[in-house]
């Protein structure tokens, strides 16, 4: 029997936009991708990256293709089908003393998605993006061929695929080394920080000693308190300081229904930010924490995107070069507040070197990410204003989070786009593989 596509409502994690898509879903990913114009995983990119370019263009759902195909306990090298989730990998490998070299802030992502977004994590300042660690990929390219690519075979295709948002081909298999860890627990230290200068200095200083760092900031605080927040640092605990038992599987709560829009009015957002800040009542906390609580605090709440209600939400994430101390980050936050932005969660992180992925997001500098509910007119205007500033600062945005950027803004912040397009044209002259995002930003036909 040939695989039949079915209709399904599709959206990213932000629940906007929503499209009535045609989905091919099977354990047999080579079969599912044969007639597909795009592949998607668990749909955790926020905007339109994982959505098909048109309602009749089939998209392959990779999530059932989740087998682990080979693991070498001596070197840690793992090969797996692209639909395998980080949640599964953690469940299988954490208690055995292995962890992925780079983990994003949720474990509900697939390996294929981790490559396509070239995800980064709390260890970016030392380990770079996930793509730096990928040894090989099996891809189905636009003409239907299945190709193995790596740094030694079809290097161009390999580097365009890392961070290439799934636009170079369907990722079928991923090979990368897992990393040995001394224990499955985290030793963490967190401190309350009163303003942006201290936060930036804290991140910089922590980066010298700690393999994992991140900051949360109260994005509604202004003036002298601008950029106040919590600075978190962590490392894998040594066996003698960790509990003897492996971390238990954590129960998760579920958001039972879509919240009404009023839940996200300004006073509520203020209250949340204030509570998050003052919950950290001691200036500094240290100790052993559960790896899930450290890496994936939001995963404890299933379907948390429903909190943003019917209109959905978006996340804005950009990276601003360091050249000018904390100036860029300060100007960014000031612009955000003055343009009427309000957000729940704002995450700040210092990035290390740029990766090998041709469109990979991070570059040396400071990355800022914030969530906000979508307003039909105000949100696009806010994103425009933020993008103008990012262009002026020489920064760029993260496509995985983007829903509203204009193509001219994207081109202005991406001098690397021409090289990426050239590789794409070479492998896909008719531009068969495309997404709603590539229609919006790269001018592909719908």
Partner 1 sequence: MKAVLFGASKGMGRALARLMAARGDRLFLIGRVSEDLERSARDLEIRGAPAPVMTAFCDLLNPESFAPALDRAERELDGFNAVVVTAGMFATQEEMETDPQLAARVLAADFTGTVLFCEEARRRLLATGGGTLCVFSSVAGERGRKPVILYGAAKAGLSKYLEGLDHKFRARGLRTVCVKPGFVKTGMTAGLKPPPMAGQPEAVARRVLRAIDRGRPEVYAPAAWRGVMCIIRNLPRFVMRKIEF
Q: Within 10 A of 259 (CB to CB), how many other CB atoms are there?
A: 15
Our finding on whether 241 is near partner 1 (CB under 8 A) is: no
Residue 425 engages partner 1 in binding (rule: CB under 8 A): no
With binding defined as CB under 8 A, does residue 59 bind partner 1? Answer: no
Shortest distance, CB of residue 55 to partner 1, whole angstroms? 16
CB of 23 to partner 1, least distance (A): 8
Q: Minimum CB separation from partner 1 for residue 320, in Å?
A: 41
Please pick, from the candidates 15, 19, 25, 350, the single residue that binds partner 1 as defined by CB under 8 A. 25
Q: How far is the CB of 66 from partner 1 (least distance, A)?
A: 8
Check residue 282 for interaction with partner 1 (CB under 8 A).
no
Contact status: 68 vs partner 1 (CB under 8 A): yes
Residues 6+ apart with CB under 8 A from 1: none
254 binds partner 1 (CB under 8 A): no
171 or 359: CB nearest partner 1: 171
Per rule CB under 8 A, is residue 421 in the interface with partner 1? no
Considering only 18, 20, 56, 70, the residue that binds partner 1 (CB under 8 A) is 70
Shorter beta-carbon distance to partner 1: residue 71 or 259: 71
Q: Which is nearer to partner 1, 81 or 350 (CB)?
A: 81
Q: How far is the CB of 79 from partner 1 (least distance, A)?
A: 9
Q: How many residues bind partner 1 (CB under 8 A)?
A: 18
Q: 23 or 134, CB closer to partner 1? A: 23
- Residues 86-115, interacting with partner 1 (CB under 8 A): 92
Q: Give the chain as a 3 state SS string.
A: CCCCCEEEEEECCCCCCEEEEEEEECCCHHHHHHCCCEEECCCCCCCCCCCECCCCCCEEECCCCCCEEEECCCCCEEEEECCCEHHHHHHHHHHHCEECCCCCCCCCCEHHHHHHCCCCCCCHHHHCCHHHHCCEEEEECCCCCEEEEECCCCHHHHHHHCCCCCCCCEEEEEEEECEECCCCCEEEEEEEECCHHHHHHHHHHHHHHCCEEEEEECCCCCHHHCCCEEEEEEEECCCCCCCCCCCCCCCCEECCCCCCHHHHCHHHHHHHHHHHHHHCCCCEEEEEECHHHHHCHHHHEECHHHHHCCCCEEEEEEEECCCCCCHHHHHHHHHHHHCCCCCCCEEEEEECCCCCCCCCCCCCEEEEEEEEECCCCHHHHHHHHHHHHHHHHCCEECHHHCCCCCHHHHHHHCCCHHHHHHHHHHHCCCCCCCEHHHHHHHCCCC
Residue 293 binding partner 1, by CB under 8 A: no
Using the contact rule CB under 8 A, the part of the chain among 4-12, 211-219, 281-289, 390-398 near partner 1 is: 4-12
Under rule CB under 8 A, residue 27 binds partner 1: yes
For residue 26, state whether it binds partner 1 (rule: CB under 8 A).
yes
From the list 18-26, 158-166, 255-263, 353-361, the region that binds partner 1 by CB under 8 A is 18-26
Point out which span in 62-70, 181-189, 357-365, 424-432 binds partner 1 (CB under 8 A): 62-70
Position 147 contacts partner 1 (CB under 8 A) = no
Do 205 and 240 meet the contact criterion of CB atoms below 8 Å apart? no
**21 and 7 in contact (C-beta within 8 Å)?**
yes
Is residue 54 within 8 Å of residue 446, measured between CB atoms? yes
Q: Does 23 bind partner 1 (CB under 8 A)?
A: yes
Q: Are 338 and 331 in contact (CB under 8 A)?
A: no
Least CB distance from residue 89 to partner 1, whole Å?
10
71 binds partner 1 (CB under 8 A): yes
The minimum distance between CB 148 and partner 1, in angstroms, equals: 16
> Does residue number 377 form part of the binding site for partner 1 (CB under 8 A)?
no
Q: Is 67 in the site for partner 1 (CB under 8 A)?
A: yes
Q: Is 146 in the site for partner 1 (CB under 8 A)?
A: no
Question: What are the residues binding partner 1 (CB under 8 A)?
Answer: 1, 4-6, 23, 25-28, 61, 64, 67-71, 81, 92
């Amino acid at each position: 029997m040939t695989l039949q596509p079915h209709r399904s409502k599709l959206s990213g994690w932000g629940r906007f936009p929503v499209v009535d898509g045609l989905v091919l879903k099977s354990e047999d990913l080579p079969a599912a991708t044969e007639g597909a114009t795009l592949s998607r995983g668990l749909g955790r990119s926020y905007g339109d990256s994982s959505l098909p370019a048109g309602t009749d263009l089939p998209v392959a759902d990779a999530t059932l293709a989740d087998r682990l195909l080979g693991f070498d306990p001596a070197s840690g090298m793992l090969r797996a089908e692209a639909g395998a989730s980080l949640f599964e990998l953690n469940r299988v490998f954490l208690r055995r003393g292995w962890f992925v070299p780079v983990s994003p802030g949720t474990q509900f992502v697939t390996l294929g998605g981790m490559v396509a977004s070239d995800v980064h994590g709390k260890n970016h300042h030392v380990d770079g993006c996930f793509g730096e660690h990928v040894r090989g990929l099996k891809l189905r390219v636009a003409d239907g061929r299945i190709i193995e690519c790596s740094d030694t075979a079809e290097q161009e295709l390999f580097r365009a695929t890392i961070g290439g948002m799934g636009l170079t081909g369907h990722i079928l298999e991923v090979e990368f080394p897992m990393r040995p860890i001394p224990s499955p627990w985290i030793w963490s230290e967190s401190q309350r920080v009163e303003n942006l200068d201290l936060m930036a200095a804290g991140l910089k200083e922590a980066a010298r000693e700690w393999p994992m760092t991140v900051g949360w900031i109260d994005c509604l605080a202004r003036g002298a308190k601008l950029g106040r927040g919590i600075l978190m640092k962590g490392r894998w605990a040594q066996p003698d300081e960790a509990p003897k038992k492996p971390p238990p599987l954590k129960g998760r709560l579920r958001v039972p229904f879509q919240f009404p829009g009023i839940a996200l009015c300004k006073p509520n957002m203020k209250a949340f930010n204030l509570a998050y800040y003052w919950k950290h009542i001691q200036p500094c906390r240290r100790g052993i924490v559960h790896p899930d609580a450290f890496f994936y605090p939001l995963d404890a709440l299933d379907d948390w995107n429903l909190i943003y209600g019917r209109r959905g939400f978006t996340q804005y994430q950009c990276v601003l070069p360091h050249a000018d101390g904390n100036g860029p980050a300060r100007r960014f936050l000031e612009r955000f507040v003055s343009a009427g932005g309000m957000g729940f969660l704002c995450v700040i992180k210092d990035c290390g070197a740029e990766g090998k992925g041709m469109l990979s997001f991070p570059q040396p500098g400071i990355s800022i990410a914030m969530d906000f509910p979508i307003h039909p007119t105000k949100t696009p205007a806010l994103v425009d204003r933020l993008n103008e500033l990012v262009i002026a600062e020489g920064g760029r945005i993260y496509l995985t989070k983007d829903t509203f950027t204009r193509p001219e803004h994207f081109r202005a912040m991406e001098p690397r786009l021409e090289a990426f397009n050239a590789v794409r044209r070479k492998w896909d002259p008719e531009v068969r593989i495309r997404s709603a995002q590539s229609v919006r930003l790269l001018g592909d036909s719908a």
